[in-house]
């Protein structure tokens, strides 16, 4: 499944501001919210529709309505920063949180929160995490969602490392990846370079 790197000028502009170490927490959250909204617009281009008519003041107009229920699946913590912007665009979404943290030694994801109900309640899942580094967190989340019974899953993030894209595509070739930029590489401690630092810390001031 191809990786979709946004070519939108607003995405490029906002991403550059987001990376800047002089950008404070408040501005960082605002930019992440706006980037999520713009990336969601691109990631939902193939959303299914069904015909729907409405009455305008002048009479009937044939139109459309979304026929798929969308679930946002933010990976805690940093994925939370992408939820608000998307909810503005898609007010009817369901939000299902998945708690994973990356063990600092092994870089392997450790699960700590999952309250998914027994059967799937959405048709499309958007996995939200600003950073696709080794890909371990995204791979584990998609595995959880597939086991849940989710049929259509997409990954939406801000930055990806080539290592993460390769790993996620190899583990889940059916999951499209939507990001603002594909960066150069991972460094020796698993951070994306040039990246933006630790997204969770910058989002939440820790
Ligand atoms: C960071 C980031 C991703 C993960 C990416 O989270 O927000 O969830 O690492 O790395 P991966 O692709 O190698 O799995 P972190 O573990 O720092 O947790 P946090 O969001 O709670 O800060």
Give me the chain's average pLDDT, please: 96
Residue 129 known to be catalytic:
no
Enumerate residues 6+ apart whose C-beta is below 8 A from 52.
63, 64, 65
Predicted pLDDT at 1: 61
Any ligand 1 atom below 6 A from CB of 195: no
Residue 168: alpha-carbon gap to chain centroid:
14
- For 13-36, the pLDDT digits (tens) are 999 999 999 999 999 999 999 999
- For 144-203, the pLDDT digits (tens) are 999 999 999 999 999 999 999 999 999 999 999 999 999 999 999 999 999 999 999 999
Residue 127 scores a pLDDT above 80: yes
Residue 103 known to be catalytic:
no
In 57-188, beta strands by DSSP E: 59-66, 70-76, 94-95, 98-102, 109-114, 124-128, 131-132, 152-156, 159-160, 177-179, 181-182, 185-186
Which pairs count as long-range contacts for 61-66, CB under 8 Å and 24+ apart, including other chains?
66/92
Residue 3 scores a pLDDT above 90: yes
Three-state SS for 35?
helix
- For 86-120, the pLDDT digits (tens) are 999 998 999 999 999 888 889 899 999 999 999 99
Any ligand 1 atom below 6 A from CB of 171: no
Q: What is the sign of the dihedral through the CA atoms of 116, 122, 125 and 127?
A: negative
Q: Whose CA is nearest to atom 22 of ligand 1?
A: 200
Report the nearest atom of ligand 1 relative to the CA of 132: 12
In whole angstroms, give the CA distance from residue 140 to residue 191. 18
| pTM for the predicted model, two decimal places | 0.96
């Amino acid at each position: 499944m191809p990786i979709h790197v946004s070519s939108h000028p607003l995405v490029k502009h906002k991403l550059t501001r987001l990376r800047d170490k002089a950008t404070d927490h408040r501005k960082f959250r605002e930019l992440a919210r706006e980037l999520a909204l713009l990336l969601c617009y691109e990631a939902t281009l193939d959303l299914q529709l069904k015909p729907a008519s409405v009455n305008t003041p002048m009479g009937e107009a044939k139109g459309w309505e979304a026929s798929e229920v969308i679930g946002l699946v933010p990976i805690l913590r940093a994925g939370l920063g992408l939820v608000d912007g998307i909810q503005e665009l898609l007010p009817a979404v369901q939000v299902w949180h998945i708690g994973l943290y990356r063990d600092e030694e092994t870089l392997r994801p450790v699960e700590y929160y999952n309250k998914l109900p027994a059967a799937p309640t959405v048709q499309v899942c958007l996995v939200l995490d600003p950073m696709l580094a080794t890909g371990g967190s995204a791979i584990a989340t998609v595995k959880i969602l597939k086991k849940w019974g989710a049929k259509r899953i997409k990954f939406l993030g801000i930055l990806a490392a080539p290592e993460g894209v390769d790993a996620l595509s190899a583990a889940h070739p059916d999951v499209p990846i939507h990001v603002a930029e594909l960066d150069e590489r991972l460094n020796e401690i698993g951070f994306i370079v040039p990246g933006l630092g630790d997204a969770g810390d910058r989002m939440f001031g820790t």
